[in-house]
Amino acid sequence: MRGYGLTDSAAVHATRRLRVVAHGFASLEAGGGFGLPEGLDETYTQLIDTVLTSLPRT
């Protein structure tokens, strides 16, 4: 998170947000929660890009 200028509490919160979305995606995938034909890799990439875009740029 240092690359985004985040340290201390801000870095902890940002890491938690990223972890929550990654874990949620993995849990849904493992449970067969994605039944539509669109590629999961593309969805995951978009999800992570969205979270990273929300972080400040330094």
Residue 58, in any domain of the structure: no
pLDDT value of residue 56? 85
Domain that holds residue 24: 2-53
The encoded tokens of residue 52 equal 């990273």
Residue 58: pLDDT over 80: no
Residue 33, in any domain of the structure: yes
> Which has the higher per-residue pLDDT, 15 or 58?
15
How far apart CA 50 and CA 55 sit, in angstroms, is: 9
Number of structural domains the chain divides into = 1
Read off the pTM: 0.79
The encoded tokens of residue 34 equal 């994605």
User: What torsion, rounded to 10 degrees, do the Cα atoms 43, 44, 50, 52 define?
Assistant: -160
Residue 40: pLDDT over 90: yes
